[in-house]
Amino acid sequence: MSQNTVVVKILDKEYQVACPPEEQAPLLQAAQYLDRQMRQIRTSGKVIGLERIAVMAALNISHELLSVKNQGAASEQENEALQRITDRIEKTLQHCRQLEIN
């Protein structure tokens, strides 16, 4: 399975993510969704700092995911897509922490 590098922009920062060609569109959608969530949190003014904003967004998205799971059993394909999104969120959070340390 070949990997391409996709550049996603979240809170005006660019991140390069290795991604198979067939997953590029879902990755871009996930990045746009995460960017919107993080912007809403930042705009509220209640959370300060990139890492804290990212953690709050991850918690909100995780809550949404669990709510959807509890409403009914998702298909295996949906579960796999949600797991990929969760994995990317975790990688982005790790990257944000590394940026703040440097």
Cα separation of 13 and 51, whole Å?
A: 13
Rounded to the nearest 5 percent, the helix, strand and coil shares of the chain are 70, 15, 15
Q: Can you tell me which residue has the tokens 């979240």?
A: 10
* Closest to 15 measured CA to CA, from 92, 73, 97, 90: 92
User: What pLDDT band is residue 100 in, cutting at 50, 70 and 90?
Assistant: low
Q: What is the pLDDT of residue 11?
A: 92
What type of residue sits at position 36?
R
Q: What is the pLDDT of residue 89?
A: 85
CA atoms within 13 A of residue 25's CA, in its CB half-sphere: 1
Q: What is the pLDDT of residue 29?
A: 93
Cα separation of 86 and 92, whole Å?
A: 10
pTM: 0.66
Q: What is the pLDDT of residue 10?
A: 92
The SS3 call for residue 52 is: helix
